[in-house]
Amino acid sequence: AAPQGPPVYVDLAYLPGSWSARTVDEEFFRRIRSLCYVVSGDDHLKEGVLRPLLDALLAGKHQWGIDIQVTLIPTFDSLVMHEWYQETHERQQELGITVLGSNSTVAMQDETFPACKVEF
């Protein structure tokens, strides 16, 4: 267990992917307070740990005790993410959590890819 200490505030935090995602729990979100969390890693390993990670965000954010808007930015489409969003939408609103969709497309040279813009 990590020693207790004050929370750390950041603008942007990338959440670990694959097996490392298992280390992200309620305590992580209680201590690492970010304006934006990026959830990346479109792979089968992420699907297995995604729901507990998202639930930990809700539980950790609940403990902040201050009203800070948080944006969650998934970089991939996921059935687990869609289900979590639908099932917890009211709770997300209560806690000030916004989930961005990646419905925009950027075209560069001969390549197109999904993207979203985040401003601080």
pLDDT in tens, the chain (120 residues): 566 789 999 999 998 866 677 788 999 999 999 999 998 766 665 677 888 999 999 999 999 988 899 999 988 778 888 899 999 999 999 999 999 875 667 788 888 876 666 666
Among 42, 30, 3, smallest CA distance to 95 is for 30
Domain membership of residue 1 (yes or no) is: no
Q: Is residue 61 part of a domain?
A: yes
Closest CA to 101 of 80, 79, 73, 63: 73
- Does residue 97 fall inside a structural domain? yes
Q: Residue 119 domain-assigned?
A: no
How many domains does the structure of the chain reveal?
Answer: 1
3-state secondary structure of 84: helix
Per the CB < 8 A criterion, the answer to whether 77 and 50 are in contact is: no
112 beta partners: 107
Q: What's the whole-model pTM score?
A: 0.82
Domain that holds residue 13: 8-114
